[in-house]
Structure 1
């Protein structure tokens, strides 16, 4: 009686399991891959056209150009005019009207000056008094000491132009960093997609086997407990499938962070989009590519370009600080005339000539030069720090590129072994299935070998994704990006 009751319970459980797995099969059944392939090249085209961060990077160069334009402002001609008058008690005390056009010159730090003064009145200083027609003047102001070779305005302009290279390197760095993050997110999506497909395949296989075992159980060829074991495998794989489905949805959302349209609105990755399918084929990198990347990194890596730009900036600053150690000797000379226009008549002794002039000489020199020597020493120390930083950064960049290359070669070897292992495991599974059909094996062994095969195929896709991310890292470490 007990055996009959147990047998009835097992049969009842068997029919319940059959109904459940049929419903689960209908729920999880997916069509074959019919979506549109969204390749990494397609993503690159969209990102470089519409990605806000990549657009933002171009503003760095624009800001540097604006700084150069600002520095050029120190060489803009300046027009000044001043008028003062005092009248009291029917007396015209003074009437001052001064005008000057100053044109800064690049050569020798000189200033060209063109002026017109009219100073009249009862109490006007005799030194500045002019006739009612006023005086015109044309002259130069030239620094013969500090400022002859380089002055503050030329130093500022040179440094601003050098910082254009710095800004361009920073722009390239920001674009490379953004693209590296995009590539990593793409291959995470690829792995999540392939993992879900393989898990789905495992679910389909488990469901098919469960139905086959169920049919054999109905015919009395298999024990009902085999159906229970087959369904347990179905349940385990469905649980894993649901977990992987969430992972794929999250990976799709993360990748969507990089999708924008031409109007600046965010876009979502379509549900039917599928990544490019590699089928175990990866782009292998040879030693020639490594040598090219190492050479390129040594010359054009953004970090090194930025450091060299800083070095050029400090070189200009050092030249300027050395110039400031000289005494300040400024000489100015102006030829004056009472001429108000070129067509008017003016006597020779009131016209432009060497006899009618104003000359000025200014001299100053700090006796200890402590401020100037301190500034120069500070610049030299910064140059030494920069040289050390450039030396260390160059070595680190080269080693990082070589390390990424070594990781790629290791992945290549692992991929070859993994592909062969999958072939061997597939052969073991086929042999075990044949033995099971002949009644010489158990369902447990088949499920174990099949589960291991699925895990190995998932691991292969994980290695492929890791390889592709390392490939993107190789180019990123070299200060560039992979082209398609």
Structure 2
């Protein structure tokens, strides 16, 4: 009699503790809001600071092009000097020039006006009181004819625009890939939490049934204790899953920003989208297409090619500076200040009034020039090797990701079959238990195994989706979000 009262008291205490633990697992959220991958994509590409920062890369490259174009801007300069001493005007000099750099042949077009008078003015530059106007041109016949420093700078700046665009794509792809991985981590954490909570619900319902049977004497009290332990064990797992899904939600929120640049957080009732259990592996045609696209437009390869174009321009320039410097300049001169006054022909613009000049320079050993050219050629060789190796690694990475997808697909198919078989075993065990031919331990064992297998299935689905995102990331392009579909 005392034993029965003791067991009844024990059963009541267990019932109260399990009931209290189960009540704490009930969530009070009214509705769940589905946060789809497309929603994440919209927010990331619209408001993410790194995405906005990456957009500035191409703007900075274009600014460098504009800066390089400044070398071809017309320049106007003027100078004035006068000296008076002891009632003597030593000199009164005025000079002005408009120089217009020409894109072709590295030439400069010049328009100038000089007025140099005074007692001690240099006879070579002395003019009459009207001064002299000049229209001329300066042309390099040797070094600088095909390419010069300003054209080299401009062409290299233009080549770096492609480099900056590729770098922008690379950074944006990296941001998106990280966001996708965090999304599928959240998806797995949430599905693990959901399945664990379903396990708690099932264990609690079974505990209540066993408890009622124990109270009427159909089951021994020890079965109620075992059922209670199962509830409590799954409750511990649920608490762990709750923390993990909250942390995964916080990590995903790192990628969320509003239009004002303020951080956003997903609400607690947000849930990820659901995914079909059966995945469709991209065909070999997709793999071939990704390999071809990667070869043409992968950001890393585009950057290397842009760097190669820049080095090729630098090589051409360094070869050019090894030529002798031969600059010829000429100008027609006149006493004319405007086009309305009369000027005698022998003082006006004609082929008998001119200035010419010739400049020649050539280093005898060219050691500096040859050393710089050799350095550029070595950099080109290094770049070619880097391009070959990078292309090979990118192709292999794409193929490796595709092979991982194929493995995930096979494993997921087997896992789904195993879940179906485990469900059949559990159903049969429940039927045997109702007939008194099985034990609660076997039921809990098979049910826990089924829950673990379902969680593993969700892990495979999450891994498959992350690997699919990795496939496109390795190819250097954005993933088409149309591949996702609801269960």
Indicate the TM-score class for this superposition, using the shorter chain for normalisation.
over 0.9
Q: Distance in 2 between matches of 1:82 and 1:53?
A: 50
* Aligned position for 1:125: 122
Please state if 1:465 is matched with 2:462. Answer: yes
Length-normalised TM-score, structure 2: 0.97
* Aligned position for 2:133: 136
Please state if 1:400 is matched with 2:400. Answer: no
Please state if 1:300 is matched with 2:297. Answer: yes
Please state if 1:105 is matched with 2:99. Answer: no
Length-normalised TM-score, structure 1: 0.98
Q: CA deviation at 1:32?
A: 8.8
Q: Which runs of 5+ in 1 are unaligned?
A: none
Q: Distance in 1 between matches of 2:185 and 2:38?
A: 16
Please state if 1:455 is matched with 2:452. Answer: yes
Aligned to 1:215, the other structure's residue is in SS state helix
Which range moved further: 273-282 or 127-136? Answer: 273-282
Please state if 1:61 is matched with 2:47. Answer: no
Q: CA deviation at 1:7?
A: 4.0
Please state if 1:478 is matched with 2:475. Answer: yes
* Aligned position for 1:192: 189
* Aligned position for 1:230: 227
| Deviation per residue, 1:330-350 (Å, 9 max, x gap) | 111011100000111111111
Please state if 1:153 is matched with 2:144. Answer: no
Q: Distance in 1 between matches of 2:461 and 2:215?
A: 44
Q: CA deviation at 1:263?
A: 1.5
Q: CA deviation at 1:329?
A: 0.4
* Aligned position for 1:8: 5
Q: Distance in 2 between matches of 1:441 and 1:255?
A: 45
Q: CA deviation at 1:280?
A: 1.3
| Deviation per residue, 1:105-128 (Å, 9 max, x gap) | 011100000000011111111111
Q: CA deviation at 1:26?
A: 2.0
Q: Distance in 1 between matches of 2:312 and 2:243?
A: 57
Could you tell me whether the CA contact under 8 Å between 2:7 and 2:221 is conserved in 1? yes
1:191-210 alignment runs, 5 A limit: 191-210=188-207
Please state if 1:431 is matched with 2:428. Answer: yes
Q: Distance in 1 between matches of 2:315 and 2:86?
A: 60
Please state if 1:310 is matched with 2:284. Answer: no
* Aligned position for 2:362: 365
Q: Aligned to 2:281, which of 281, 284, 298?
A: 284
Q: Aligned to 2:91, which of 94, 100, 103?
A: 94
Which range moved further: 33-42 or 195-204? Answer: 33-42
* Aligned position for 2:484: none
Could you tell me whether the CA contact under 8 Å between 2:29 and 2:269 is conserved in 1? no
Q: Distance in 2 between matches of 1:33 and 1:183?
A: 28
Q: Aligned to 2:25, which of 17, 24, 28?
A: 28
Which range moved further: 12-21 or 146-155? Answer: 12-21
Aligned to 1:291, the other structure's residue is in SS state helix
| Deviation per residue, 1:8-67 (Å, 9 max, x gap) | 333211100111122222221236994121110111011111111111110000000000
Cα RMSD, aligned residues only? 1.1
From the superposition, tell whether residues 425 and 31 of structure 1 become closer, same or farther in structure 2 (CA, over 3 Å): farther
Q: Which runs of 5+ in 2 are unaligned?
A: 482-487
Q: CA deviation at 1:288?
A: 1.0
Which range moved further: 77-86 or 24-33? Answer: 24-33
Could you tell me whether the CA contact under 8 Å between 2:21 and 2:232 is conserved in 1? no
Q: Distance in 2 between matches of 1:218 and 1:406?
A: 57
Q: Distance in 2 between matches of 1:394 and 1:207?
A: 57
Could you tell me whether the CA contact under 8 Å between 2:189 and 2:248 is conserved in 1? yes
Q: Distance in 1 between matches of 2:27 and 2:325?
A: 85
Q: CA deviation at 1:5?
A: 4.4
Q: CA deviation at 1:152?
A: 0.3
Could you tell me whether the CA contact under 8 Å between 2:54 and 2:172 is conserved in 1? yes
Aligned to 1:274, the other structure's residue is in SS state strand
Aligned to 1:37, the other structure's residue is in SS state strand
Please state if 1:181 is matched with 2:212. Answer: no
Q: Distance in 2 between matches of 1:284 and 1:209?
A: 40
Q: CA deviation at 1:283?
A: 4.1
Please state if 1:40 is matched with 2:19. Answer: no
Q: Distance in 1 between matches of 2:5 and 2:267?
A: 50
Q: Distance in 1 between matches of 2:286 and 2:39?
A: 24
Q: Distance in 1 between matches of 2:3 and 2:176?
A: 63
